[in-house]
Chains A and B, each alone.
Chain A
């Protein structure tokens, strides 16, 4: 079965907000993903904090700082998040203050 890949509206909004060099890198990473969804550089893993969700969600590394999340069901991939984890963490802490 051929790989089917979609992105949610929220995902695309996040993607468009990324700095252009990171968008370029995300595109390169995605091309690699189409050739090999298990490429070592993705550090593909299921975050334990999201384990309750079904279909399962996997994290894919674009860089150490920028990562994407994808809901995977067989050969169907639905991209649900892409973003800067350092900036997100900073914002979470700022809101908590």
Chain B
């Protein structure tokens, strides 16, 4: 699947990008050199922006993956799904590393623009990868579920149309 291959390559590229950036921050005193500082903050912004884009690309690719699964009898769903899982796990690792990186920058007075989005992205991937969706134990979900169960009791149900939904 082209979309999956593209996302996998992009994830690899971002891991390499991160691997180049990290030692520059870990070693030396980039904070004391204005020129290096400017370059590094710019690089971190790009890294985070592209990682967030990768998340959105993967979500779209996953939608297409499920579309293919239900419309093409020969589609190798199980095989592709394993690759999607692996890629979401890799993305999660990358996002966690970037959050740590952003925290280092924040300690020196610079908070990357999309930091909050990155934290949200991390949580979103955790939701997608969880063995069981965390929403089910929430009070809000239990309320919504109760509405639906009340619908059943009150007979507020509609037969699925012959040409469904």
B is bound to A: yes
**Contacts from A to B (Cβ < 8 Å):** 4-12, 15, 21-23, 25-32, 34, 39-41, 47-50, 53, 59, 61-65, 67, 69, 71, 78-81, 85-86, 88-93, 95
* Cα distance A97–B65 in the bound complex, in angstroms: 35
User: Would you call B71 and A95 a contact (CB within 8 A)?
Assistant: no
Total A-B contacts with CB atoms under 8 angstroms apart: 129
User: Would you call B70 and A39 a contact (CB within 8 A)?
Assistant: yes
* Cα distance A47–B81 in the bound complex, in angstroms: 20
User: Would you call A85 and B133 a contact (CB within 8 A)?
Assistant: yes
Give me 22 A-to-B residue pairs in the complex whose CB atoms sit less than 8 angstroms apart, sorted by A's number: A6-B160, A8-B152, A9-B157, A21-B63, A30-B160, A32-B70, A41-B70, A41-B77, A47-B132, A47-B133, A49-B132, A49-B136, A49-B137, A53-B149, A65-B128, A71-B152, A80-B145, A80-B148, A85-B135, A89-B138, A90-B124, A95-B140
- Chain B residue total in the interface (Cβ 8 A): 42
